[in-house]
Amino acid sequence: MSESRTGVRFPVELPIRIHVSDVAADQVGTTSNISAAGVYIKTQASGSEETSGQAVWRPGSVVSFEMTLPAEVIGASEDAHVQCCGRVVRVEKLKDDPRNGVACVIDNYEFVRRP
């Protein structure tokens, strides 16, 4: 398998809320690592077939997600709230973890100010 990652990846575990374009309910997960170009998410959602209302993740699926980057992680004076749009690149079953791993490329993002 060729390595197509670009940029530095930061091993950061943060809660993340994800919306898959063809699934009604939002999903939740935890980031495993983040870069400017992508994010790797651990989630209960399935990569093969719909089970118990969980999203089906397929390569090419359009996703939007939001997360809060803690101030101490990014070296800022306050947390940064980020909304991202991207695509699923890979879905894999994780060893010794009931969740699946989902690699997503980030196509665009914006920082959101919250009161």
In this prediction, residue 49 carries a pLDDT of 47
Q: Kind of pairing, strands 15-20 and 100-112?
A: unpaired
Query: Which residues partner with 80 through β-bridges?
Result: 69
In this prediction, residue 1 carries a pLDDT of 42
CA distance 4 to 13: 22
In this prediction, residue 29 carries a pLDDT of 92
In this prediction, residue 2 carries a pLDDT of 44
Instruction: Assign domain 15-112 to its CATH superfamily.
Output: predicted glycosyltransferase like domains (2.40.10.220)
Q: 57: closest CA among 38, 74, 44? A: 44
Q: How many CA atoms lie within 13 A of 112 on its CB side?
A: 11
In this prediction, residue 63 carries a pLDDT of 92
In this prediction, residue 75 carries a pLDDT of 87
**pLDDT tens for the 115 residues of the chain, in order:** 445 555 788 898 999 998 887 666 788 899 999 998 999 999 986 655 444 444 567 899 899 999 998 898 888 999 999 999 999 999 998 899 888 999 999 999 999 987 6
In this prediction, residue 109 carries a pLDDT of 94
* Amino acid, single-letter form, for residue 80: A
SS3 31: strand
